[in-house]
Amino acid sequence: MARHPRIVIPGLAHLVLQGGHNGQAVVHDARDAQQWQAMVREVAATQRVLLHGWHVSPTWYALLATPHEAAALARLVQDMGRRYVAWFNARHGRNGTLWDGRFRSAVVQPGHWERLALVWLERSVPEHPGLSTRAHHLGQGEVHGVADPQSYWTLGNTPFERQARWQLLIDGGLSDAQSVALRRALRSGRPLGEDGWRTQLQPLTPVPLQLRPRGRPPKRATRAPILTR
């Protein structure tokens, strides 16, 4: 089956997800995680992609990022991936690929859904807070290379207000329906947001935003001609 073209809209945040090949580990320890974070920050600056948040787990990573042009998102993932694989293989004495093929991504509606995507990122590894940007948004530690999205700035007029509100959002998490919508968007590559907003996006991309049902379209019923005397 042919792959659906990737939807990338410059100036909007995109949720990106990529896992290890066949579920293998992409991070073994803190040094691996630190190197991954250093590389993604460096490549993002080169490709002019704003990083709003990230998390790296033992077997996959996720980003919330805004590219300045459509091709910049793929260049970020590919360039960072190649650099990290070379470093990871040299350090751990291995060869071959590390990533599980094509990365997944979904453009995210500004505001409410953008915040939810960032909450999902920063709740994903609660036992390893140093592997995400959560400490940055909670005011618990400095994380370089983070460009806070407008949806975060609107949480309060002072850093304390924003951090306190972010803690409440982290504690609350996502509803079941929101989690389903987020996973569906990443799986399909279609935008994450409200129906009306998705409709407004269509003029900005040549890719159809409505998925067609699988299989052949049903045949239209034909009526017998009406015979007139």
Mean pLDDT of 162-172: 96
226 pLDDT higher than 50? no
Give me the pLDDT at residue 123, please: 87
The three-class DSSP label of residue 112 is helix
DSSP3 helix / strand / coil % (the chain, rounded to 5)? 45, 15, 40
Q: How far apart are CA 69 and CA 54, in angstroms?
A: 20
206 pLDDT higher than 80? no
Q: How far apart are CA 153 and CA 99, in angstroms?
A: 34
Judged by average pLDDT, the poorest of 82-96, 105-119, 157-171, 191-205 is 191-205
Q: pLDDT tens-digit profile of 64-91?
A: 999 999 999 999 999 999 999 999 999 9
Q: How far apart are CA 227 and CA 89, in angstroms?
A: 77
174: tokens are 């996502």
Q: pLDDT tens-digit profile of 128-146?
A: 555 889 999 999 988 899 9
Q: How far apart are CA 178 and CA 159, in angstroms?
A: 27
Judged by average pLDDT, the poorest of 74-83, 135-144, 167-176, 202-211 is 202-211
The pairing of strands 60-67 and 14-19 is antiparallel
223 pLDDT higher than 80? no
44 pLDDT higher than 50? yes
Tell me, which fold does domain 14-194 have in CATH?
Alpha-Beta Plaits (3.30.70)
Q: How far apart are CA 129 and CA 169, in angstroms?
A: 16
Give me the pLDDT at residue 229, please: 38
Mean pLDDT of 95-114: 93
Q: What are phi and psi of 17, to 5 degrees?
A: -140, 135
